[in-house]
A and B are shown apart, each in its own frame.
Chain A
């Protein structure tokens, strides 16, 4: 198929050659086929000017790729998220990493542009993006297949699809708004003219406007308002209808009903020469509500910062070292990277993979993860993350995983999930909105009938005003907008939210429970002393301990780095206890004395500062003393929490008096040491009955306690690659981030409450006014739009972390 495509393309312009017009020419000793004499002539000119290298260069572009059989064919459903449905058709957004020169652009445009159903092909060479618009989504597999057969590896381009869909929406909305505005102006003018003339009175039937002119103006208004009602206001009708089809009373129903009712009533009065027409009201409702919606869309997009999407940080291609040749690098698209690939990263480039730095050193900033823009020096052996920026070194990085498992990819997924979170009472508000709308419909109808019976000429206008003013749009926007903004802001400040409920619960926190090791302390334990108890020397004991601890993720394990050839088998890590295993046939245990020493009554550790663990093999071999240091800002952080009225407790698994002394030097309300994980869970549960507990730890050893707490946050895990179980992760090393997060959560809650309160107040106060006929229709439309805007702007205040 590929060969067929190639040979049937014109050598010069790469357009398909039709047999009828095919012509051939000898260029540079080879017979080529051309689509027309013009192209044959052009090729001769290029040949004469000795520019044939151009063709070679061009040809090399699309054949130099590795055989496509090697490439993992991407499933069609992978591309579905990159498809945007626009009014004009289906738009597919692709990233083509191997788009290498302008000739590739021509090839794609020519071949794709001639496919059935393809309406538009846009190739952006600089950004390597292909945008394909076609009429029917069933063509997607064939088109993707064709691009692959041409030798390219298309990748779905998700952020662009999202943005493009947003752009199309904005354009369509602007057009509707424009039509509504243009048509509204003359309609309002006609209405004003007939209003100023006044109705004919009983005393003077000739007063007012000539009935002929009156009728003419009404017909003109009818003609002008029809597109507004059925085109501009179409989104309202569609929304209302879709909700109705699902047997729900949607937000759009009152608005749609008001616009349609005003129009139908006016048409009826125009045909029957009735008393009054409300074309101006219908147009104005449509225009003002659309205007409100448009501004709301713009500001939401602004606040939600689509461009800030994490995945946009990743490069599109990487330079991979060829197998067997260390000096040769080939550019490959990102999705082809697999664990073990060695990739080259030049100064100024973004790291393409999570992995280990093999060679070179550089200042690397990981702002995407930590919010900290200042670069940190990383040298060979360090772990680095995809999405981090290499400032100044040429590096070789060995990828640790495929892109779908990158930290940044996982973060993006988490962030999306957290943003979609809706608190329980927000869902409740949605359900209540249905009842609310039902009530409004009844109220509006009741008001219309009542005022009509009372003889008011404005009866129907009042009913329509009630419909518009009571729309609970602000109520439904109040929470989701704020949560989205808050999640993005926290991420920018190095707080990654895994569970959407975190924000809600952090705001309610009354007690903060800390794990000690790795949270309040540096967790850089060091071996202070070894007291041999048996026949083995201190060095031998350390070697045994190192062999055992190699299998543990616990912070204690890092203290053991004695070079040793010993290997432990049957290793078992017991949380809160220690490590056991077999070395050279000896059953060895290392940990708290109760755990390590099975046979004898528990030994008492030496009465010295620090953490003492016992090594047995199987008899007691040595006490090993470890010392940890407090983080420099632990005390300040606890003071800040206390200042904010929070209760602080420490649940430590460390039973040593040294640990207790260390903890007691801190401004904590309660200190409990020597707790097993089960005891920690019980303590958190007990505390949880009195208030809301937030568990702060490193997310690995205290997973149980974290799950038992209302919410949890992992603080600065030394290795951000390790998956932790906390609801949120604070990646900045500064502990003072914690009180800031709690304050922010409370502020977010306050803003959400303000939003809810405001929308309720607005609806509750505006409805009686409208019922009483005190609210003119234009004010109702403006009020409703402004109430939604206010909610969005109020949420926008959450863009700042402090404030």
Chain B
């Protein structure tokens, strides 16, 4: 499967995890940005917060891609290590989505430390302003999240600024249906993702792809260049 399609579907599949957390964040942000007696559905504000979130993901992805490039130096050897790491992360996300092992959530602890300094700057945001809503959305996108960090592992393996950003953009777009409907699609999303069998299938597919990626590292390429 195409990596971008994979990232997009992961974004979609993360909805049940996201519903409680991101839904509450969006609820609070909207409550803060809405003037009394405003229109029932503040589409503009939702889109601004959502774009901020997407921008944050793209920025993170680009940085990860660039980091991957720097680490591997465009060379095959270190590149192999990154691909191996990314394969392991894929297996980790698979286990997480299927609900068999939640080790990935430990990444969040690490991320939470990095996130603290950023938080202090968020205090000065005024949510009535469109630009500030974009920034608040970015802060939202940077919240510690196991799935995002795993995706960043994949972006790292891309070892390209552009491709890393694109990968994270695909993931972010996958989470958008939920954001745009402000939780309105929750019911139908849950029908798809709440199904344990479907989640386990998705997780198993993810693990399978991780294993294949891993396997390919140790197999001699049929046509050496």
Interface residues, chain A, CB within 8 Å of chain B? Answer: 10, 12-15, 20-21, 36-42, 44-46, 48-51, 53-55, 57-58, 102-103, 105-106, 109-110, 113, 119-124
Contacts and interface: CB of A to CB of B under 8 A. Distances in A.
A124 B31 CA distance: 20
B190 A106 contact: no
A15 B144 CA distance: 17
Contacts of A121: 187, 190
List the 4 closest A-B pairs by CB distance, nearest first: A13-B20, A37-B108, A54-B28, A51-B32
A14 B20 contact: yes
Contacts of B23: 13, 102, 106
Given A37-B144, A38-B143, A103 B194 contact: no
Interface in B121-137: 122-123, 125, 127, 136
Given A38-B145, A110-B20, 12 more contacts: A13-B24, A21-B102, A21-B105, A38-B108, A41-B115, A41-B143, A45-B119, A46-B25, A54-B24, A58-B27, A120-B194, A121-B190
Given A45-B143, A48-B119, A39 B31 contact: no
27 contacts: A12-B24, A14-B20, A20-B102, A36-B21, A36-B105, A36-B146, A37-B105, A38-B21, A38-B108, A42-B140, A42-B143, A44-B119, A45-B122, A45-B143, A49-B127, A51-B32, A53-B31, A54-B32, A57-B31, A58-B27, A102-B183, A105-B183, A105-B186, A109-B19, A109-B186, A110-B20, A123-B187
B24 A49 contact: no
A225 B113 CA distance: 64
Contacts of A37: 105, 108-109, 111-112, 144
Given A13-B23, A36-B105, A109 B190 contact: yes
Contacts of A45: 25, 119, 122, 139-140, 143
A38 B25 CA distance: 11
A46 B22 CA distance: 12
Q: Which of A42, A106, A120, A123 has the most CB of B within 10 A?
A: A42
B139 to A, nearest CB: 6
Residue in A54, A103, A122 with the greatest tally of chain B CB atoms within 10 Å: A54
Nearest to B125: A49
B21 A39 contact: yes
B21 to A, nearest CB: 4
Interface in B1-55: 19-25, 27-29, 31-32
B123 A15 contact: no
B186 A48 contact: no
A55 B120 CA distance: 20
A51 B140 CA distance: 14
A46 B28 contact: yes
Contacts of A122: 187, 190-191
Contact of A54 (B31, B140, B143): B31
A71 B112 CA distance: 45
A518 B192 CA distance: 63
B105 to A, nearest CB: 6
A42 B111 CA distance: 13
A680 B20 CA distance: 72
A50 B136 CA distance: 12
Interface in B165-194: 183, 186-187, 190-191, 194
Contacts of B120: 48
Interface of B is mostly: helix
A782 B29 CA distance: 60
Interface string B83-124: 000000000000000000010010011011001000110110
A110 B20 CA distance: 8
B70 to A, nearest CB: 27
A41 B112 contact: yes
Nearest to A122: B187
A122 B120 CA distance: 38
Interface of B: 19-25, 27-29, 31-32, 102, 105, 108-109, 111-112, 115, 119-120, 122-123, 125, 127, 136, 139-140, 143-146, 183, 186-187, 190-191, 194-195
A102 B41 CA distance: 13
B144 A51 contact: no
A37 to B, nearest CB: 4
A109 B24 CA distance: 13
Contacts of A58: 27
A36 B20 CA distance: 11
A693 to B, nearest CB: 58
B194 A40 contact: no
Nearest to A18: B102
A119 B190 CA distance: 10
Contacts of B25: 42, 45-46
Contacts of B145: 38
A721 to B, nearest CB: 39
Contacts of A20: 102
A12 B21 contact: yes
Given A21-B105, A38-B145, A42-B25, A113 B127 contact: no
Given A51-B31, A102-B183, A120-B191, A42 B24 contact: yes
A49 B21 contact: no
Given A38-B144, A122-B187, A51 B29 contact: yes
Interface centre among B23, B25, B29, B32 (most CB of A within 10 A): B25
A121 B195 CA distance: 11
A121 B20 CA distance: 14
Contacts of B24: 12-14, 39, 42, 46, 54, 103, 106
Contacts of A110: 20
Contacts of B29: 49, 51
Nearest to A23: B109
A568 to B, nearest CB: 59
A21 B29 CA distance: 26
A49 B112 contact: no
Given A36-B108, A42-B143, A102-B183, A54 B122 contact: no
Contacts of A44: 119
B63 to A, nearest CB: 19
A120 B123 contact: no
In this complex, the member of A41, A44, A58 whose beta carbon has the largest number of chain B beta carbons within 10 angstroms is A41
A259 to B, nearest CB: 33
A49 B123 contact: yes
A532 to B, nearest CB: 69
A458 to B, nearest CB: 49
B182 to A, nearest CB: 8
B98 to A, nearest CB: 16
B194 A38 contact: no
A719 to B, nearest CB: 42
A36 B96 CA distance: 13
B144 A41 contact: yes
Nearest to B110: A37
Nearest to A113: B194
B80 to A, nearest CB: 31
Contacts of A12: 20-21, 24
Contacts of B186: 105, 109
Contacts of B139: 45
A51 B49 CA distance: 15
Nearest to A118: B194
A555 B112 CA distance: 81
Given A45-B140, A54-B32, A122-B187, A15 B108 contact: no
Contacts of A106: 19-20, 23-24
Contacts of B20: 10, 12-15, 39, 106, 110
Contacts of A38: 21, 108, 143-146
Contacts of A36: 21, 105, 108, 146
A53 B30 CA distance: 12
Nearest to A14: B20
B134 to A, nearest CB: 14
A123 B194 CA distance: 14
B123 A48 contact: yes
A46 B29 CA distance: 8
Contacts of B190: 109, 113, 120-122
